[in-house]
Structure 1
Amino acid sequence: MQGKKRLLWQLYPAFLFIGLISIIPVTWYATNTLEAFFLKQTSDDLAARAHMTEDRILPLLEPLDEKAIDALCKSMGKRANTRITVISPAGRVYGDSLSDPSTMDNHRERPEVVAAFSTGRGHSLRFSKTLQKKLMYLGIAVRRNNRPVAVVRTSIPVETINEVISGIQGKIALAALLIALISAGLSFIVSRRISRPMEVIRRAAESCSIGNFDAVFPATNIEEIEKVSTAMKEMAAGIRDRVETITRQHNELEAVLGSMLEGVIAIDLEGHILSINGAAARLFDTRRLKAPGMTIEELARNTRLSRFVEKALQKSDSIREDIPIRTGDGDRVLNARSTSLMDSRGGRIGTLLVMEDVTRIRELENMRRDFVANVSHEIKTPITAIKGFVETLTDSAMETGDARRFLGIIQKHTHRLEAIIDDLLSLSRIERESEDTEIIREKSNIGEVLESAVQLCRVKTGARGVQVKVDCPQNLTVAANAHLLEQALVNLLDNAIRYSPAGEEILLKARSDGEVLEISVSDNGCGIAPEHIPRLFERFYRVDKGRSRSNGGTGLGLAIVKHIVQVHRGEITVCSDPGKGSTFTIRLPGNRHGDGSRLPSCR
């Protein structure tokens, strides 16, 4: 790669080249002009000398006195330091200042002689055979009665002219060299004047690049460089503000992450750790600065955590899962939640894991479930005995009215306690099965499940005087646990039957678009006030406690429905208008065998 050049050495050669390019043609033109001028002046000088000789020669031509002509030529040529030659129209030499005319060739065909006889004046630069040197000749015709009778020719050696011209050219070259040197110096000064502020700007920019934003940018009277300097100064101030903002935000983020009890790990799309906070480093017994660049397998050799990270990277939706891990402090349970990690432009660059140590919470939940299950089993035994004895006494021959009424009250509450215990056992069983293993799902016909649920509630609908209408497309299927789904629908129908006035109709409806299966139970009962809906699925929560008890509800039915839907990885929602009725909608993941429709959303 060709090396970079400094701005000075970019500008200076260019300026110098422009100067030289300008000087060379000017010097050439001046030299040629002066040479032409000198030759013309020499020619005119030779012509003047020839005219001076012309007046002296004319009287000697008629009568012709060749000796006098030759003597005059020699005399005047010596004084003028010029060769003078007189030539007849026939070309014979009458006289010559340097040679004997009798020994000279005929000059009729000499160019200057031919031109002089023809036009009155002629000149030429040529080699003289007589003197064996190059001369400049100029001939003037001598006329008598407007008729040329001779030619006076003057000449000087060309080397004399060349010596003068060389002297002039030398002076011009010396002047050109001097101008070139001055131009080179001025070019260097101008180039330096332009490049020096740029050099200062460069050093200031380099200072800013290492964090010194107080560097001084130069002021100059060159408008373009002044604009660059001002722009760089404003850019440095802007960068300083942004760096300070980013540093402050980074420190705040570090403080927040460092203060969190939950472990936080940022992972890129290739599975490499971008950063972790202190809590995560303590969980996995590593150093914060060592973790970036590692994979999750290198950080924690835990198969379930690795699978969770793979699943989180494949999905953009948030997922949650309990993951058991083994640490130096013993076995722990982490509740891991994932969310997509986005850049400033909204593009996904990875996933963010938030892990909370829920070991103690899960232990308490297990204790609670064990307690509920054990207590339910313990209570069920005496309840069963009481129920049996009450039925025996009722069927016996007791005639006392009060005794029968008391036994009826005991039997009613025994049935209610039994229902509560059965619901608690069902809830405990569903929770245990969903945590220990995945529930068994099989391809089930939704229409059959809905009809079975309606059949199980037939006695209650007859007693309440309400009807259940089923609206379900044929051959609608879903992968689900049919028994659990049936139990959830029975609980929802039981709830709707209990709060529907006599003669009303309950609608049990199912639809699927291939992505989601939706099953809704709609009634025209008393409805539910909005403030009760958020707590509706809590255990033992009742909207109207007195009415719920009188209707025989246990307060656990909707909690069981919620857990059944959750183990199917679905959701349940409620739409209710007080005084007009309620609609409970179960949404389960579909299997792409739907009818292409969806139930209307709650409004």
Structure 2
Amino acid sequence: MTKRSLFWHLFPTYLIVLLVALAISDWFTLHAIKDFYLVNTARELEARAVLLRAQIALPDPGSAPVLIDSLCKRLGRESGTRLTVVLRSGQVIGDTDHDPATMENHAYRPEIQQALAGHTGTATRYSYTLHKTMMYTAVPLKSGNEVVGVVRTSMAIAEINEAFGSIHVKVIGGLILIALLAIGVSAFIARRLARPIVRMKLAAERFTRGEFEHPLPEATSEEINDLARTMNEMASQLDQKIRTITDQRNERDAILSSMVEGVIAVDTDERILSVNRAASQMLGLDPKSTIGHYLQEVVRVAELHRFVAKLVSGGASQEGQFELQGGQMRIVQAIGAPLVGERGEKMGAVMVLHDITRLHRLEVVRRDFVANVSHELRTPITSIKGFVETLRDGGAEDAVQTARFLDIILRQTDRLNSIINDLLTLSELEQSSRGEIGVQRINLQLLLRSAIDLVQRKADTASIAITVRCDSEVAVDVNPSLMEQALVNLLDNAIKFSDAGGTVEIAAEVSDGHVIISVTDHGCGIETIHLPRLFERFYRVDRGRSRELGGTGLGLSIVKHIISVHGGEVSVVSSPGKGSTFTLSIPVAAGPTAL
């Protein structure tokens, strides 16, 4: 159905009402004028009849019919009126338009009968003599108190209508002018009434777009003005509420976006209502395009689907854990609760997702560490206990065997002591920072030489040559003892896993505000599968060979922690059968300087 503007609702209504009113007014006016004209015409006819009666003034009108007929013809032509004189018997003795002798008896004419009765008679009827409709007025002609005849005047209705027609045309013309004026007035009134409504419509459209800065002006009409004031108050309240809701939404979005945990809200049909940035990153979603979609459409994790279905249908809080497969496997802990409205109606569910991959890995590392510590400590303790029991049970009688047993016990004790010392070192390093370890400016080449001196004897025994490449003027801010320990651990490993007659290379250079130190050997190398866990505590590539060579399994872990407290990084590149290169990158706090 076609909608029309308010103007086209008001204007036709006003126009129809005005036209109907004008039409009724025209009808009544014309009839009133016509009636008035007919009454006046009847009065004029009566007046003319009275004048004619006064001129006849004969006691017996029938005694002078020729005179009366002549008088009727002369006066009728002068007044433009048909004059007729009728005796009491109904005989016509004078007429303006016809010979009385040829005219029929008029005794039964209604106006004649009324006049013969002593009254003024009037009638409008068809004249068979003239063959047209006429208006008649008759007055009694008396002789003394006796009615002796009738004087009648008449006029053709066509002449009356012709005279009235000119009046009718003028009235119709006036009414047309009034109608045109009424159309203009109706249009003006309709537009004036519609204009404030149109302004309110435009204002309401602005309000729907959130434009509240242009209030409605006051109107001349009290009702429209009250409506405008109400709309302005509504707009002000809407503006305030929208601002409040927007601020609350922005605060909520900011909170959700800054959360490390992922948050997802779904409705009772498991359509996504809200998802924050952390959840999008966890599940690989686009936050904007996923709103309104079913969770099953955008997330391909069966455990999560079952968790959400149980949460939505159960109505109680739930906890779960599942794995996310992707470029890197992640373990996620989910905590969910029903989403309930203000009136207690069920609206869906909300879930908080915790990425516990790191915690899980730390737990694995912790379990491995406990197991490794237990194993590493149990081995020397078991060995010591065994030899002590042997000596107690009589093995001490053999001096040579006793000395051998004591040497073994001493080595195992030293190994146990090394493990404990390394663990204590790691514990101290984990609780330290760069500002707590006591750094000082030291010549890097001297530091490298000092570390080499500590392993030189072992290198000579294994026929391993150590080469150094470092600018003698480079200095760096480090803790000398810790840095020396890290270098010794790397050199010691390089010597252990190098073949006799091989070479270990140590080099240092400055690049982008960092000192880069590399230790390279050309030994057996390390398979790629072991590299990610190489710096874990007690992790060994070849456990048997490591124990045979006397390692505790904590050396590289200590190196990593020492470099970390210096604000640096450690990395390794290795190829099986070709050797390994360990690289230390340490920031130079004040930049390298010459000594």
1:357 aligns to what?
Answer: 355
C-alpha distance in structure 2 between counterparts of 1:164 and 1:62, whole Å = 34
C-alpha distance in structure 1 between counterparts of 2:294 and 2:112, whole Å = 109
SS of the residue aligned with 2:153?
strand
Letter in 1 for 2:127: S
SS of the residue aligned with 1:183?
helix
1:319 aligns to what?
Answer: 318
1:259 aligns to what?
Answer: 258
Letter in 1 for 2:20: I
C-alpha distance in structure 2 between counterparts of 1:136 and 1:294, whole Å = 94
Letter in 2 for 1:127: Y
1:333 aligns with 2:320: no
Distance 1:373 1:63, change over 3 A: closer
C-alpha distance in structure 1 between counterparts of 2:54 and 2:298, whole Å = 124
Distance 1:40 1:299, change over 3 A: closer
Task: Compute the displacement of 1:56 (Å).
Answer: 2.2
1:308 aligns with 2:307: yes
Counting only pairs closer than 5 Å after superposition, residues 411-560 of structure 1 correspond to structure 2 as none
Counting only pairs closer than 5 Å after superposition, residues 240-319 of structure 1 correspond to structure 2 as 240-319=239-318
SS of the residue aligned with 1:327?
coil
Distance 1:188 1:150, change over 3 A: same
Distance 1:227 1:62, change over 3 A: closer
Letter in 2 for 1:181: L
Higher-Rg structure is: 2
User: Residue deviations 1:197-226, cap 9 Å, x none?
Assistant: 221222222122222221242321111111
SS of the residue aligned with 2:218?
coil
Letter in 2 for 1:39: L
Task: Compute the displacement of 1:63 (Å).
Answer: 6.9
Task: Compute the displacement of 1:136 (Å).
Answer: 1.0
Q: Is the 8 A contact 2:62 2:93 kept in 1?
A: no
Q: Is the 8 A contact 1:200 1:218 kept in 2?
A: no
Counting only pairs closer than 5 Å after superposition, residues 154-303 of structure 1 correspond to structure 2 as 154-303=153-302
Q: Is the 8 A contact 2:61 2:87 kept in 1?
A: no
C-alpha distance in structure 2 between counterparts of 1:62 and 1:316, whole Å = 124
Letter in 2 for 1:308: F
C-alpha distance in structure 2 between counterparts of 1:79 and 1:281, whole Å = 115
Letter in 1 for 2:256: L
Please say which of residues 260-269 and 244-253 is displaced more in the overlay: 244-253
C-alpha distance in structure 2 between counterparts of 1:283 and 1:3, whole Å = 53
Pairwise CA RMSD of aligned residues? 2.7
C-alpha distance in structure 1 between counterparts of 2:65 and 2:369, whole Å = 163
SS of the residue aligned with 2:136?
strand
Letter in 2 for 1:264: V
User: Residue deviations 1:51-110, cap 9 Å, x none?
Assistant: 111122232626711111111212222222211111112211111122111111111111
C-alpha distance in structure 2 between counterparts of 1:201 and 1:279, whole Å = 45
Task: Compute the displacement of 1:244 (Å).
Answer: 1.6
Task: Compute the displacement of 1:361 (Å).
Answer: 2.8
Normalised by the length of structure 2, the TM-score is 0.60
1:406 aligns to what?
Answer: none
Letter in 1 for 2:214: A
Distance 1:151 1:258, change over 3 A: same
Q: Is the 8 A contact 2:333 2:353 kept in 1?
A: yes
Normalised by the length of structure 1, the TM-score is 0.59
User: Residue deviations 1:235-262, cap 9 Å, x none?
Assistant: 2222222222222222211111111111
C-alpha distance in structure 2 between counterparts of 1:15 and 1:294, whole Å = 54
User: Residue deviations 1:362-385, cap 9 Å, x none?
Assistant: 445566678889999999xx9xxx
User: Residue deviations 1:555-589, cap 9 Å, x none?
Assistant: xxxxxxxxxxxxxxxxxxxxxxxxxxxxxxxxxxx
C-alpha distance in structure 2 between counterparts of 1:304 and 1:146, whole Å = 131
1:18 aligns to what?
Answer: 17
C-alpha distance in structure 2 between counterparts of 1:176 and 1:118, whole Å = 45
1:116 aligns with 2:120: no
Q: Is the 8 A contact 1:107 1:113 kept in 2?
A: yes
1:348 aligns with 2:346: yes
Task: Compute the displacement of 1:328 (Å).
Answer: 1.5
2:101 aligns to what?
Answer: 102
User: Residue deviations 1:293-349, cap 9 Å, x none?
Assistant: 33333333222221111101112211112222323222x221110011234544321
Q: Is the 8 A contact 1:312 1:319 kept in 2?
A: yes
C-alpha distance in structure 1 between counterparts of 2:281 and 2:232, whole Å = 45
1:568 aligns to what?
Answer: none
Distance 1:376 1:167, change over 3 A: same
Letter in 1 for 2:302: T
Give the % identical residues: 36
Letter in 1 for 2:306: R
Distance 1:326 1:278, change over 3 A: same
1:126 aligns to what?
Answer: 125
1:34 aligns with 2:18: no
Structure 1 stretches of 4+ moved >4 Å: 363-379
Distance 1:294 1:12, change over 3 A: closer
C-alpha distance in structure 1 between counterparts of 2:248 and 2:151, whole Å = 107
Counting only pairs closer than 5 Å after superposition, residues 83-98 of structure 1 correspond to structure 2 as 83-98=82-97
User: Residue deviations 1:19-50, cap 9 Å, x none?
Assistant: 22222222211211111111111111111111
C-alpha distance in structure 2 between counterparts of 1:238 and 1:27, whole Å = 55
User: Residue deviations 1:125-179, cap 9 Å, x none?
Assistant: 1222222222111111111232211111111111111112222222222222222
Letter in 1 for 2:358: R
2:484 aligns to what?
Answer: none
Please say which of residues 54-63 and 166-175 is displaced more in the overlay: 54-63
Q: Is the 8 A contact 1:262 1:279 kept in 2?
A: yes
SS of the residue aligned with 2:243?
helix
Letter in 2 for 1:349: M
Q: Is the 8 A contact 2:11 2:187 kept in 1?
A: yes
Distance 1:251 1:122, change over 3 A: same
Distance 1:63 1:315, change over 3 A: closer
User: Residue deviations 1:409-450, cap 9 Å, x none?
Assistant: xxxxxxxxxxxxxxxxxxxxxxxxxxxxxxxxxxxxxxxxxx
1:8 aligns to what?
Answer: 7
Letter in 2 for 1:14: T
Q: Is the 8 A contact 1:284 1:327 kept in 2?
A: no
Q: Is the 8 A contact 1:283 1:327 kept in 2?
A: no
Letter in 2 for 1:23: L
C-alpha distance in structure 2 between counterparts of 1:186 and 1:120, whole Å = 53
Task: Compute the displacement of 1:120 (Å).
Answer: 2.6
Q: Is the 8 A contact 1:319 1:337 kept in 2?
A: yes
Q: Is the 8 A contact 2:59 2:143 kept in 1?
A: no
Letter in 2 for 1:9: W
Distance 1:318 1:76, change over 3 A: same
Number of aligned pairs? 380
SS of the residue aligned with 2:108?
coil
Q: Is the 8 A contact 2:110 2:121 kept in 1?
A: yes
C-alpha distance in structure 1 between counterparts of 2:347 and 2:183, whole Å = 59
Q: Is the 8 A contact 2:336 2:349 kept in 1?
A: yes
